[in-house]
Amino acid sequence: MRKLLLSTAVVAAMASVSFAGQAAESATLAITGTITPATCDVSLSSATVEFGNIAASTLTTAYNIKAGNDVTLNVDCDAAAATAIQTTDNRTASAMTLAEVEEQMKFSSSFLSTNLFGLGTDSAQGKVGLMAIGITAATADGTANTHVLTSTDKATWTATTLSATSTAVLEKNGYFALASDADTAAPVALTKSTYTLSPQIILKNASLYPTGEEVPIDGNVTFSVVYL
């Protein structure tokens, strides 16, 4: 549309003059692309985490936590490369803020608003709830690795050491990777890495949903490899 408007303006300005000699005598072709250090594929052990039918009669408290099945994210490269995974919330418009969580669920936690992924909206445009995704285990080239890095900009990384009581919580539009050890604050070059993702959803009290209606739970997240 921008090119169409520009062309129209040029024609209008030149309507009363001769077109002789106005043909372009040269044209430029741009060649673009990116040379990557390796080719990496990302896959999930399951494309769906199914919570099934949740009876409204079971949503009796101010907030109701439901744990989903673990999913393994695999990164396979044809050569060792320093990569990270970007996490994109495709339901960000329905993501609850911390203020909304505290108001509607009377729930306070160590989460940040950026940790809260959307679950869609109900027929009254109310936000259904929230989803949080944690990394609970990882491997680097076949060996268990507990040194997870997270970042919002790929420049500064925060380290989390995974344990039975410590999980690396993902952020919307953030990045995660693995370090070689606890003293390293930069992603390590790997050929193959895996991450165990543990999602959980938190739903509101049944009284806060439209009465007598089915409410779909609709979370959707994309994981993309980026080269560092």
Structure tokens at 28: 């430029």
CB of 71 closer than 8 Å to CB of 219: no
Q: Is 16 exposed, middle or buried (0-12, 13-18, 19+ CB in 10 A)?
A: exposed
pTM (two decimals)? 0.83
Give the pLDDT confidence score for residue 86 in this predicted structure: 96
Determine how many CB atoms are found less than 10 A away from the CB of residue 141: 14
User: Which residue's structure tokens are 């999913």?
Assistant: 71
Give the pLDDT confidence score for residue 155 in this predicted structure: 93
User: Which residue's structure tokens are 């909304």?
Assistant: 100
CB of 168 closer than 8 Å to CB of 150: yes
CB of 176 closer than 8 Å to CB of 150: yes
Give the integer Cα–Cα distance in Å for 159 and 179.
8
Give the pLDDT confidence score for residue 108 in this predicted structure: 81
Give per-residue pLDDT as tens, 168-216. Answer: 999 999 999 999 999 999 999 999 999 999 999 999 999 999 999 999 9
Q: Which domains, and CATH codes, for the chain?
A: 39-46+56-227 (2.60.40)
- Cα–Cα distances (Å) from 205 to 82, 124, 133, in that order, read 44, 15, 21
Give the integer Cα–Cα distance in Å for 18 and 58.
79
Q: For Cα atoms 218, 220, 226, give the angle at the middle one, nearest 5 degrees.
A: 175
Give the pLDDT confidence score for residue 11 in this predicted structure: 38
Give the pLDDT confidence score for residue 48 in this predicted structure: 92
Give per-residue pLDDT as tens, 99-156. Answer: 999 999 998 878 899 999 999 999 999 999 999 999 999 999 999 999 999 999 999 9
Give the integer Cα–Cα distance in Å for 186 and 228.
10
The H or E element containing residue 80 is strand 71-89
Task: Give the CA-trace dihedral at 6, 8, 14, 15, to 10 degrees.
Answer: -170
**Alpha helices for the chain (secondary structure H):** 2-13, 98-105
Give the pLDDT confidence score for residue 33 in this predicted structure: 66
Mean pLDDT of 84-97: 96
